[in-house]
Amino acid sequence: MRSIARGLGLASAAMALTALTALAGSGVAGAAPSGTESLYAPSALVLAITAGDDPDEGTALRAVTLVCAPRPSGTHPAPAAACAELRAADAMFDTITMPATGVRCSKEWDPMTVTADGVWNGRRVAYTHTFGNPCAMRHGSGALFRF
């Protein structure tokens, strides 16, 4: 049955290149935001933590993926909380990385940089923020950069 279907597919593909494209598209199984006809503008990010203050020179210590549409997923440990935070902040990352009030960290300079790259609501994103030290990062990175 499967090979018959495949045979039919190939036959119609030979008829027109457009048909081939359509078949190839529908043959993709399990891709989350699966086509131009998706109801959702794609939102997918790679979040990384790099020691130092230059994410383009340093080596990322950790990196996770976060997909927020159609539903929260990815290798992020708490995708639902991270996506909720991003939505609440309207993807203004600086709102999320703002230091919490009432938290005391030393002023020691041992910088850690967080980055967010990818696509949010269909728009390309490249965000960088450097914290003075790991304590500042721990208290100012929200659920988004807690991984």
Contact residues toward a copy of itself (CB under 8 A) are: 17, 20-21, 24, 28-36, 38, 41-46, 48, 50, 55-56, 59-65, 67, 73-77, 115, 117-119, 122-126, 134-135, 138, 146-147
Smaller CB separation from a copy of itself, 42 or 84: 42
What stretches of 4-131 adopt beta strand conformation (E)?
44-51, 60-67, 112-120, 123-131
Smaller CB separation from a copy of itself, 4 or 28: 28
Do residues 99 and 140 lie in contact, with contact meaning Cβ atoms separated by under 8 Å?
Answer: yes
Smaller CB separation from a copy of itself, 84 or 125: 125
Residue 76: what are its φ and ψ, rounded to 5°? -60, 140
- Cβ 101 to a copy of itself shortest distance, Å: 19
Do residues 71 and 87 lie in contact, with contact meaning Cβ atoms separated by under 8 Å?
Answer: no
Smaller CB separation from a copy of itself, 78 or 84: 78
Residue type at 30 in one-letter notation: G
- Cβ 7 to a copy of itself shortest distance, Å: 19
8, 12, 51, 147 from 134: Cα distances, Å: 59, 59, 9, 13
- Cβ 131 to a copy of itself shortest distance, Å: 13
